[in-house]
Amino acid sequence: MKYLAAISLGLVLTLAGCKPAAPVSAPQGIEVYFSPHGGCTEAVVENLNQATNWVCVQAYSFTSAPIAEALVNAHRRGVKVQVILDDSQETGRYSEADFLNNYGIPTLIDNRHAIAHNKIILVDGYLVLTGSFNFTKAAEEKNAENLLVINDPALAKKYLANWQFHAAHSAPYLRKKVAEN
């Protein structure tokens, strides 16, 4: 089920009985999605389809064909697309790393951490997609997950700085290493 909200941080804190601090930035809107079957994948794809300049992705698990296809389509439209994946995706059986790499999308592997657990997509310097939602079919169809789509340029700038920090210590994905079974 799809839940949409355009809620200011102050309203949320007031309803919770807390006094809000001065806002750091003024969000233009927040959309909230829940899975299973809550439209998370559809929301990601819709927002990628609207990208005009650039998209940065950071993912722990990435096996969603519709999201990978939306990234390739954005790349074909001339949108600069860059991806950082957890090192488990280098050998993951259903990882979309090969697909992205084969279409010329720069794909990096972050193996600096025990788990590179971030799940974010940044679009055009103003949109942040984040939450527990992994970019996988299971996350959409089986798991209890959440996805926030936040229109907030100041927040997007902070996420981009963190994305760049991780990109700086990540290595280029070259090809899929087949796991021995």
Domain spans of the chain?
Answer: 2-172
What average pLDDT does range 138-149 have in this prediction?
A: 94
Query: Does the structure show a pLDDT above 70 at 134?
Result: yes
What per-residue confidence (pLDDT) applies to 180?
43
Residue identified by tokens 């971030």 is 118
Catalytic annotation, pick one of 75, 86, 110, 119? 119
The answer to whether 75 is a known catalytic residue is: no
Helix (H, G, I), strand (E, B), or coil: what is residue 123? strand
The answer to whether 124 is a known catalytic residue is: yes
What average pLDDT does range 109-114 have in this prediction?
A: 84
The helix (H) or strand (E) run that includes residue 122 is strand 120-123
Indicate the fold that domain 2-172 takes in CATH.
Answer: Endonuclease; Chain A (3.30.870)
The answer to whether 119 is a known catalytic residue is: yes
What per-residue confidence (pLDDT) applies to 27?
52
Report the share of the chain in percent with pLDDT over 90: 59
What contacts 131, CB < 8 A, 6 or more positions away?
Answer: 119, 145, 146, 147, 148
What per-residue confidence (pLDDT) applies to 94?
56
Catalytic annotation, pick one of 98, 117, 157, 176? 117
Q: What angle do CA 162, 165, 169 make, to 5 degrees?
A: 145
What contacts 132, CB < 8 A, 6 or more positions away?
Answer: 119, 145, 146
